[in-house]
């Protein structure tokens, strides 16, 4: 019996210690609070009684939770809450009756369990879709750096969430120069990843056309401006062209973090020359380094 309970607990908790489970719950509670608090009025109004403020916040929280559900699930949740807090009420057609023999708690629990199963199914489906999106995003990035005599290239990324708005690439252009790209789309998760995928496709297509790095960045910037939702979805980017034979590096920093250059003498410097992110202004001046 004890072994069965221990196995059951190990399976439920994934072997995580109680303290770690509590920390995980706290982190999830904080994340949930942030989600709902965006739709709540913050704090008590000046001079407002605390009791009145509590009910106002509770009402706002109730509606924030309800509006996250589909209409059908809202009705189910409302029925469950009514049964739970008014266990002796029985609905018969359009009339309400008090029935002390009605198994209210059972039906309320059953409805809440059904809602939990439906929400869990949605979460599993969403998780599966996010995993597919993560795989597709990884396909868009090079799996291995190109082998170039005299040049060592390495890259790695670790998204904060399942998918992210970060993108990097290394490939040769028709002029036999190596194009190095690092970008970060404003925002997080799926929207940023989708927009970054479109930017990656346009960048690859435009890079195949003849022209200098300046012309390439200008074309990409015009495309980004058309897709930026009036500047709300801009992209910071670092684009550089490397001439393998001479080691000459030409770059454009469009609002991205300053890259660090380590020279053969081990001297380190930041490439601080830069301009506006892509998607802000179609006529933005380009600053080259």
Residue 92 within a domain? yes
Angular region, 225: left φ>0, alpha ψ -120 to 50, beta rest: alpha
Residue 281 within a domain? no
Say what the pLDDT of residue 40 is.
Answer: 61
Residue 283 within a domain? no
* pTM, two decimal places: 0.61
Residue 11 within a domain? no
Domain enclosing residue 247, as ranges: 145-270
Residue 160 within a domain? yes
Q: pLDDT in tens for each of the 289 residues of the chain?
A: 667 777 777 777 777 788 888 888 888 777 777 776 666 655 445 555 556 666 777 777 778 778 888 888 888 888 888 877 776 655 555 555 555 445 777 778 888 888 888 888 888 888 887 777 777 777 778 878 888 887 788 887 776 666 777 888 888 888 888 898 888 887 677 777 777 778 888 888 888 888 888 888 888 888 888 876 666 678 888 998 988 888 888 888 888 888 888 887 888 888 877 778 888 877 666 655 5
Answer whether 163's CB lies under 8 Å from 190's CB.
Answer: yes
Say what the pLDDT of residue 100 is.
Answer: 47
Residue 162 within a domain? yes
- Answer yes or no: do 120 and 177 share one domain: no
Q: Count of domains in the chain?
A: 2
Say what the pLDDT of residue 109 is.
Answer: 82
- Answer yes or no: do 160 and 116 share one domain: no
Which residues lie across from 249 on neighbouring strands?
242
Say what the pLDDT of residue 256 is.
Answer: 84
Say what the pLDDT of residue 162 is.
Answer: 67
Residue 195 within a domain? yes
């Amino acid at each position: 019996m004890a072994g069965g309970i221990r196995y059951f607990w190990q399976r439920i908790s994934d072997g995580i210690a109680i303290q770690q489970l509590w920390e995980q719950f706290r982190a999830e509670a904080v994340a949930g609070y942030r989600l709902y608090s965006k739709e709540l009025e913050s704090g008590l109004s000046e001079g407002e009684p605390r009791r009145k403020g509590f009910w106002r916040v509770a009402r706002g929280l109730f509606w924030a939770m309800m509006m996250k559900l589909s209409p059908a699930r809202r009705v189910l949740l409302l029925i469950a809450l009514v049964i739970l807090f008014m266990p002796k009420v029985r609905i018969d057609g359009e009339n309400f009756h008090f029935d002390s023999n009605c198994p209210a708690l059972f039906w309320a629990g059953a409805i809440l369990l059904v809602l939990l199963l439906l929400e869990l199914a949605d979460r599993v489906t969403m998780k599966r879709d996010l995993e597919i999106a993560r795989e597709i995003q990884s396909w868009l990035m090079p799996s291995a750096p190109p082998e170039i005599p005299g040049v060592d290239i390495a890259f790695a990324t670790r998204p904060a969430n399942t998918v992210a708005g970060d993108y990097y690439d290394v490939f040769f252009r028709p002029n036999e120069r190596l194009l190095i790209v690092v970008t970060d789309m404003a925002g997080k998760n799926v929207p940023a990843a989708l927009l970054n995928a479109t930017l990656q496709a346009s960048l690859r297509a435009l890079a195949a056309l003849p022209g200098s790095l300046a012309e390439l960045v200008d074309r990409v910037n015009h495309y980004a401006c058309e897709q930026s939702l009036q500047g709300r979805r801009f992209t910071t980017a670092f684009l550089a062209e490397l001439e393998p034979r001479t080691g000459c590096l030409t770059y454009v920093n469009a609002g991205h973090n300053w890259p660090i250059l380590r020279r053969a003498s081990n001297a380190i410097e930041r490439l601080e020359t830069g301009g506006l992110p892509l998607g802000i202004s179609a006529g933005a001046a380009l600053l080259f380094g």
